Structure formats: C-alpha cells, structure tokens
Structure 1
Amino acid sequence: MQKKLLLLLSLGWIFNYAHRMAIPPLIPIIKEEFAITNAQAGLLMTSLLLPYAIIQVPAGYFGDKFGRKKLVVISILGYSLASSLAIFAREYWHLVGIRALYGVFAGLYYAPATALISEIYRERKGSALGVFMVGPPIGSAIAPAIVVPIALALEWRYSFLALSLMSLTIGIALMLAIKGEVKQVEQPKFTIPKKVLGLSIMNFIALAAFFGILTFLPDFFVNKGRSVEEASFYFSLLSIVGIFGSIGGGRIYDKVGKASLLSVLAFNALLSFLLVKTAYPFLVLLLGLFFYSVGPIVTAYTSEHASEENLGTVMGFVNMMGFFGATAGPYFIGILIDRIGYEVAFYSISGMYLLSLLILAQEQRSENKKRG
C-alpha cells in the first residue's frame, strides 16, 4: 500500500507541475496573441502562485484535521477542472483569472501530501520525498512535450484541456485505489515554531530564483537566437536531468542531513551565473541536477522542525513563504528584463541563490549555538 500511495501521490504532483509549467514554453505564442510585455507574461505565473501560497497553511491544517488523502483528491480534481477553463480564455485577463483559480486548488496538494509521506516513511522520508519531488522536473519536462505540439497543430488553449483530462484520471485512481484515510492525526495543532522562520525566509528567496528562471528560460534562449522548439527542448532537458537530481537529493539528505542543503544552494548560485555568462546549453544538464535537488532536501529538512500534531501546518507555512517568493520572482525578473535586459536580470537569480545560502548558514549557526 505504501508504494501504491507514493506512486499516485507522485503522479498527482507531476501533473500539478505540468499544468503550472505549461505557460513558460507557450509565452512566445501568448505574448504575440495578446500583445503583452514580459512583466505581464510573468504575471501569468504570479497569478497562480499568489493564491497557491496563501492556501498552503490552511491546506496543511485542514489536511491534518479532516484527512490528508481526502484533501489531495479534492486538489487534483479541482486543479484539473480549473485549468481546463483556459479553453474559454479570449483576453489576457481571462487567462490571469483562470490561472488564479487553478492556483487555489493546486495549493491544496503539497502540505497534506508531504506530511503524509513524512509520517509513513519516517527514517526513509528523504528518499521517499526524493521520489515524490520528481513531480517538478517530470511535470516541467512533459509540459513542453505536450503543450507545444498541440499549440502548433491546433491552438494553445487546447493544450490545457489535454493536460486536464490526463490529471483527472490520477485523481479518480487515487480516490478508488486507496480506501479511507491512511494516517489520521488525533489532535492537530495550528502552531508554527520560531525555529522555522529563517528556513522560511531562505525558501522565499530560493523559490523566487527557481520560478524566475523557469518562467523565462525558454524565452531567454529564444532571445539568444534559438527557435521556440529548440528553447523548449532545453527547458525539457533541464527538467529531465532534474529527475535524477530530485531522487539523488532525497537520498543524500538521508545520509548527510542539513549540510546537503548548503551545498546545493552553492552549486545553483555558481551554475546559474555560468549559464547566463555563456548561454551554453550544456550547462542546463549540470544545473538540472542541483536545481531540482533543493525541493526534497528542503521538504525533509522542514519535517524535522515539526511534531506529528503540527506537521501539516509547518510544511504548509514553509512552503507558503517559499511560494510568496515564487509569486514575486517571475514578475520581478520580467520587470528587470523589460528595463535592463536578459543578462543582468538573470544574474540577479544567481545572487538570490547566494543570499539564500548565507541566510541558511546563519540560521544553522544560531541553532548550533543554542544546542551547544
């Protein structure tokens, strides 16, 4: 039952990301149709990430209180139906509103799902979360492979309808295959310890960088003279390599612990700098390994800062702070691109990773002093 549950939760997370990351490879097409700026294009990510972030803490608490599996099923069915409404978008602001509705339902997923996995796997939670967190790289990788051919053959709106039909089957399978609640919390608590504040600030900055580069990476390569198809290939390549980064990151956390997070942040700062400096596609391979290893490591590290009674709430809070950063990141990078160009805008992403590294190092130093 453990393996079946982990598989279905991971599939739901894959399509959660496929829906949200369907926008970046379509940005050149959407920009042309709606005649929008890069900042407005970034808002298409911001519009889903803001409600996504706000719903995180309530999702964690209500998952603990009413049933984590139940909330995950509601999330999959809800985000599938909401995303399918893109077929009716005829103006830019229609699409912004649809993406915001999608963000509400998509936001119900992470906290109850990761809390459930952490509780079930305990000592092996890093490895299990590494499998679960292949959702971002696989979802990001399959998104261009699905949406670009449909957009070029038919119209970009039909891409979201196709994704919705796929993800609906996962929600129905989870509802039918796993009977009842797997883990019920007896006395859930809505409490957030002070020791997660530094971690939350670090996550804010790291996810601002993560979604900033994800949103504009295809357009970055198009700006460097590559075709839409070639740019989409590099975007998919980053995510495909990220599958191994996610699995490896979870396993490394089980063996090394918190030091692994400092290392991957340092590599992300260095490799994102080199990518902008050279625009060399091979660097996408290296960046993918470290880019996606942050997710499972942060998730496992966060679970160490909570008890069984407030696990969902803490997971939701740290992720909420991260996605406030993710909300600001694409719009901030879009404004920088419009005003000062791609190169300087993308250098700021490397700076964000470096700053998040310094904050985490200081937080861990403070924790060690208290224990000592």
Structure 2
Amino acid sequence: MAQNGNVVNSAFWTLCMMGFFAILSSTMSKSPVLKPFSLSLGTPTDWTGVVASASTIPGILVSLPAASFSDIYGRKKFMLIAGFIFASAPFLYLLITVWWQLILVRFYHGFATAIFVPVAEATIAELFPTKRGERISLFSSATYVGRVIAPALGG
C-alpha cells in the first residue's frame, strides 16, 4: 500500500510541475511582450484587448466539456491533447505575419489551458478523495507561481 501511495504522490507532484511549466509558458507568451508584439504587427488599438483575451475564450467554451469527456474517455487522452497544444502553440507564434493571425494563435493556445487545468484537477480529485481540496489548492498554487514568474522571464 505504501508503494501505491508513493506512485500517487509522484503523480500528484508531476501534475503540479506540469501545471507550473504549462502556465509559465503560456503566460510568458503574453506578458509583457504580447501588446508590443501585437502593435508591431499593425493591430488596430481597438483590437489589442481582443488579442489579449483570445486565449480565454476556449476556457469558457471548453473547460467543462473537457473535464466531462475525460470522465468518459479517460484523462490521459485529454492530457496528451493539452500537452500537444502547449508544445506546438509557441512555434506558431514564429509564423505570424499579420495581427489577425495572432488572434487565431492565441485562441488555439487557449485550448491547452482550457483542457489541461480542469482535467488535472479532476485527476487530483480522483487520486485524493479525502484531501482533494488541499491537493487541488496546492496544484492551483503551483500554476500561480508559474503565472507570477512568467513576466520576469518573458520580458
């Protein structure tokens, strides 16, 4: 039983590290460089807010279905999809030549967080049924640390 506990704890800390690096990398793509990059592409000033918020739209649309479908089809598949998006999105920024493409890439990038966070939290709740509040809070804190450090590293 102790060995199973070690595996579960290892899985938890792995999810925390994944959350830290995932949010670190996605936040680095926007803070503090997003607005200057957007303006350098000729984004109309009225559209800079849309550029910034484009990545949050998938969170509104996809978070609940992602977690629900992971209940049915398995968490691993959704974690792999999120991982693929996290890994591929940064390279798409290199291909952007006009401002509206930035909106599309930001929208695509937003799917990674929209899928990863709720599925990771569902996984944690499953692994720690009696301590899920504590463990989800620790996971959330790991992602916030990534969010805090990102602007200094990104700019």
TM surpasses 0.5: yes
Q: Find the counterpart in structure 2 of residue 61 from structure 1.
A: 68
Displacement of 1:37 after TM fit? Answer: 5.4
Unmatched segments (≥5 aa) in structure 1: 149-372
Other-structure match for 2:132: 125
- Indicate yes or no: 2:112 matched with 1:105: yes
Work out which of the residue numbers 48, 64, 70 in structure 2 matches 1:41: 48
Asked if 1:2 corresponds to 2:37, the answer is no
Aligned: 1:91 with 2:81: no
CA contact (8 A) 1:17 1:135 kept: no
Name the SS for the 1:88 alignment partner: coil
Q: Which amino acid aligns with 1:48?
A: S
Matched-pair contact (CA < 8 Å) for 2:38–2:102: no
C-alpha separation in 2, matches of 1:106 and 1:28 = 20
Question: 1:51 Cα shift?
Answer: 1.9
State the match for 1:146 in structure 2.
153
Quickly say closer, same or farther: Cα 1:32–1:111, change in 2 above 3 A. Answer: closer
Q: In the aligned structure 2, how far is the partner of 1:65 from the partner of 1:35?
A: 44
**Residue in structure 1 matched with residue 88 of structure 2 by the alignment:** 81
The amino acid that maps onto 1:6 is F
- 1:96 Cα deviation from its structure 2 partner: 0.9
Q: Which amino acid aligns with 2:101?
A: H
SS of 1:123 mapped into structure 2: coil
Whether the 8 Å contact between 1:69 and 1:113 is mirrored in structure 2 is no
Structure 1 ranges of 4+ moved more than 6 A: none
Q: Measure the CA separation in 2 of the matches of 1:43 and 1:99.
A: 10
SS in structure 2 of the partner of residue 4 of structure 1: helix
Give the aligned partner of residue 19 of structure 1. 25
Q: Structure 2 vs 1, CA of residues 136 and 44 (structure 1 numbering), >3 Å: closer, same or farther?
A: farther
Q: TM-score if structure 1 supplies the norm length?
A: 0.37
Quick one: distance in 1 between partners of 2:18 and 2:120? 10
CA distances 1:19-61 after superposition (whole Å, capped 9, x unpaired): 3322131145225413445542221232111123211122112
Q: Read off the aligned partner of 1:104 and give its amino acid letter.
A: F
Summarize deviations over 1:327-366 as a string: whole Å, max 9, x none: xxxxxxxxxxxxxxxxxxxxxxxxxxxxxxxxxxxxxxxx
Return closer, same or farther for 1:94/1:135 CA change in 2, 3 Å cut-off: farther
Question: Distance between the aligned counterparts of 1:31 and 1:68, measured in 2?
Answer: 35
Which residue is 1:51 aligned to? Answer: 58
Q: 1:52 to 1:83 in 2, by over 3 A?
A: farther
Q: 1:135 to 1:37 in 2, by over 3 A?
A: farther
In structure 2, what is the equivalent of residue 259 of structure 1? Answer: none
Quick one: percent identity of the two aligned structures? 21
**Distance in 2, Cα, partners of 1:124 & 1:116:** 13
Deviation at 1:5, TM superposition (A): 0.9
Greater C-alpha radius of gyration: 1
Q: How many residues align?
A: 148
- Residue segments in structure 2 that go unaligned for 5+ positions in a row: 1-6
Q: 2:33 is paired with a residue of what secondary structure?
A: helix
- Identify the structure with bigger relative contact order (alpha carbons < 8 Å, sequence gap 6+): 2
The two structures, once aligned, show a CA RMSD in angstroms of 2.1
2:123 aligned partner, one-letter code: L
Q: TM-score, normalised on structure 2?
A: 0.82
